[in-house]
Structure 1
Amino acid sequence: MRRRAGSPDPDDLLAAALDGVIRARTLVELGVEETTVYRRCRDGGPWQRLAPGIVLMATGHPTPDQLATAALLHGGPEGLITGLHACHRHGIRRGPQLPATLHMLVPHVRQVRSTELMYVERTKRLPPPVVRGGFPLAPPARAVSDAVRRLRSRRDITELVSDAVQRGLCTVSELSTELTEGGRRGSSTPRSVLLDVSAGVLSAAEADAKRLWARSGLPEPWWNARVHDADGNLLGIADAWWDDVCLAWEINSFAWHLAPEDYAREQEKRARFAAAGVNVLPTLPRRLRANSREVLAELRKAYEAAAASPRPRVWATPRASERQQGGLTGPLRQ
């Protein structure tokens, strides 16, 4: 920025900003003429306007931190980040990519309008904030609930919900409560997904497997069952487990894990299963949809083969359901 005599130092302006984000009125207070502020925010200028009266002193798309900073300046001191941006900051990694538009909550009495980059929701149910990295967020259950109401893909909803529950950030019960108290808008598919997750389904691929199993004619397996050897050592958690024949159906693959070390642990688990004599049927997630007939035939044959084999010296326990833990609430099944 070219500096005229008597104009403020650019370094002083940046020092007054938060990650390059600053109120237009603050710039004026620091000595920048108001006409200059808005001229620099025009197309092709060195700055840009992220919200009414909120300036980013840089070009290009704002970073998630810059967008969050601008949203909180726009929404006021009681504003919270929610939806997918809050989910990501809570540590949820599965699900859809971050959208360009940030979802935020403000008290119902505030009159704050949405912008191209910020969807502002006025609410009478403003939760207490959870601060992560200096940013006030809606608690995990509220953030996930707000996010899934705006999603259309069942797979995206399943990945988001299951990752939040699997990481211990919230329970099915808490999500059920949020969906109930937030009204029915956009809650139908998330409620159905919660029933799958409460039964032990922890990914969209496992949800596909459950729907495919329903066409198999086989007994219902235990989903995400803990399998132990005769001495009580944990061999691993089977995605699906038929205890009557000791058959493990494994759906996970590298594409469905968060990091290479997760894939390595999965391979080690399969090796322990094999060493203990457990029958294992591995299936790639993409085949559940693309080659469902073949997978069904393989599943039935694997079950028959396991039934004809001597039972290995292993034992398993089903995953405790949320309802057994006082989790699922009645309205979820409505």
Structure 2
Amino acid sequence: MNHNTPLSHTPHSPRPLRHLSHVQRRVLTTAQLRAHGVSAAETNEQCRPGGPWQQFLPGVYLLHPGPPTTEERLHAVLMFAARSPVQSAPAIPVQPGAEAPHAPQPYADALITGLAALTLHGFTSAPPLLSLDKIDVLVPRMRRLRSTGSARIVRTPSLPTPTYITGVPVAPVPRALADAVAELSDANAVRRLLTEAVRGGHCEPAAVVRELTQAKLLSLPHVVDAVDSLLAEGRSIAEDRLYRMVQEFGLPDPVWNVDLRLPGGPHLGGLDAYWPEQAVAVELDTRAPRQDEDALWSEYARKREHLERLGITVVYITPKKLRDTMEQQATVVRTALMASNDRDPAAYVVVLPR
């Protein structure tokens, strides 16, 4: 019997169950079976040793004897973890031979996270789903669930908004990364995942560091090393985007990566781009949200205030804005350059390579 063999009446079956052969997936909960008119006794009979069904997780059944498909594993884990009102909804029937739709499935309070989620997001450095012994599923902290079988329960004070991939609710990349890193001790594996998150354009470094901080993972040396590499990678990508913005939108060439000093006076700070004639500066805001975020922001604010007292306009741009709204950021810089004609001349400063 294979996965596509219709269920039919057998000598051991208390009643014909042929009507279940056309459900969307051949994995159902106890409540869904009951909604289809299948009693607990009938379910137990079908799951006898050598029978046509099997119990895959508590309250979740595969309607075939072989190993589950990847899709079945994902949905079985979600069915196990989701709150019962959604579990009780009947499966959607489809016509024989028709492809099951990938519409979002309404699993209440349950998301796929960790390595499985990263694989669904398209990470090449995450393992194939079939090779994972456990699938992490994110649930609210107050849920009374325990990890069992292939379902590993991960708790959170509040569930993030899911992304739906082939109908499966999946945690956002930063949260999925944090949950994956929590289970990894291999420094190279952690570094590969974090690097792909940034290089692949899945998310910005600051979002990753925020999740790792909340998960209290930045006390682990192999995670700290990977984060340092991540931040360096993120800054390099942001600098490349800044160069491209100046070129693609026809801004005048600035001087790049400079330090400013008052003549014979103190150091004023480093800048990513500076237009001396217009006294306009751009600085990439690549702060990572760690415990000292407030102190670091105060340093940014003091620097900006000092420069603006000297008549220098400072434009702060985040890597995310550069990635998502480059044209808008170019307009902001162009406006600052044009407005320089209406301002009093800036104080003279010494511009040095950084």
> What's the TM-score once normalised by structure 2's chain length?
0.55
Distance in 2, matches of 1:123 and 1:328, equals 22
- Of 145-154 and 105-114, the range deviating more from structure 2: 105-114
Number of the residue aligned with 2:163:
130
Number of the residue aligned with 2:229:
196
Q: Secondary structure at the match of 1:38?
A: helix
CA contact (8 A) 2:114 2:179 kept: yes
Distance 1:49 1:186, change over 3 A: farther
Paired residue for 1:118, among 151, 160, 171? 151
CA contact (8 A) 1:54 1:74 kept: yes
> What's the TM-score once normalised by structure 1's chain length?
0.58
Number of the residue aligned with 1:45:
51
Kindly indicate whether residue 140 of structure 2 is the aligned counterpart of residue 107 of structure 1.
yes
Deviation at 1:327, TM superposition (A): 3.9
Runs ≥4 residues deviating over 6 A: 222-226
CA contact (8 A) 2:205 2:231 kept: yes
Q: Secondary structure at the match of 2:21?
A: helix
Q: Secondary structure at the match of 1:103?
A: strand
Number of the residue aligned with 2:286:
326
Letter in 2 for 1:26: Q
Distance in 2, matches of 1:93 and 1:74, equals 28
Letter in 2 for 1:94: S
- Of 161-170 and 27-36, the range deviating more from structure 2: 27-36
Deviation at 1:158, TM superposition (A): 1.4
Written as runs of structure 1 = structure 2, the 5 A alignment for 1:1-334 is 1-3=7-9, 7-10=15-18, 12-16=19-23, 18-76=24-82, 77-98=108-129, 99-184=132-217, 187-200=220-233, 324-331=284-291
Q: Secondary structure at the match of 1:110?
A: coil
Distance in 1, matches of 2:80 and 2:127, equals 26
Distance in 2, matches of 1:175 and 1:28, equals 43
CA contact (8 A) 2:218 2:224 kept: no
Distance 1:97 1:134, change over 3 A: closer
Letter in 2 for 1:151: L
Deviation at 1:332, TM superposition (A): 8.9
Deviation at 1:172, TM superposition (A): 1.3
Letter in 2 for 1:14: S
Q: Secondary structure at the match of 1:200?
A: helix
Deviation at 1:195, TM superposition (A): 0.5
Deviation at 1:30, TM superposition (A): 2.7
Deviation at 1:101, TM superposition (A): 0.9
Deviation at 1:146, TM superposition (A): 0.6
CA-to-aligned-CA distance 1:100-149 (integer Å, 9 cap, x gap): 21101111222122211100122213212121221111111000111011
CA-to-aligned-CA distance 1:144-179 (integer Å, 9 cap, x gap): 111011011111111111111111111211111001
Distance in 2, matches of 1:185 and 1:8, equals 57
Distance 1:26 1:125, change over 3 A: closer
CA RMSD of aligned residues (A): 3.3
Letter in 2 for 1:75: A
Letter in 1 for 2:69: T
Q: Aligned pair count?
A: 221
Q: Secondary structure at the match of 2:169?
A: strand
CA contact (8 A) 1:150 1:186 kept: no
Distance in 1, matches of 2:163 and 2:30, equals 28
Q: Secondary structure at the match of 2:155?
A: strand
Deviation at 1:42, TM superposition (A): 4.3
CA contact (8 A) 1:3 1:9 kept: yes
CA contact (8 A) 1:8 1:30 kept: no
CA contact (8 A) 1:40 1:47 kept: yes
The share of aligned pairs that are identical, in percent, is 28
CA contact (8 A) 1:191 1:332 kept: no
Distance in 2, matches of 1:127 and 1:201, equals 24
Gaps in structure 2 of 5+ consecutive residues: 1-6, 83-107, 248-271, 273-282, 294-354
Tell which structure's C-alpha radius of gyration is larger: 2
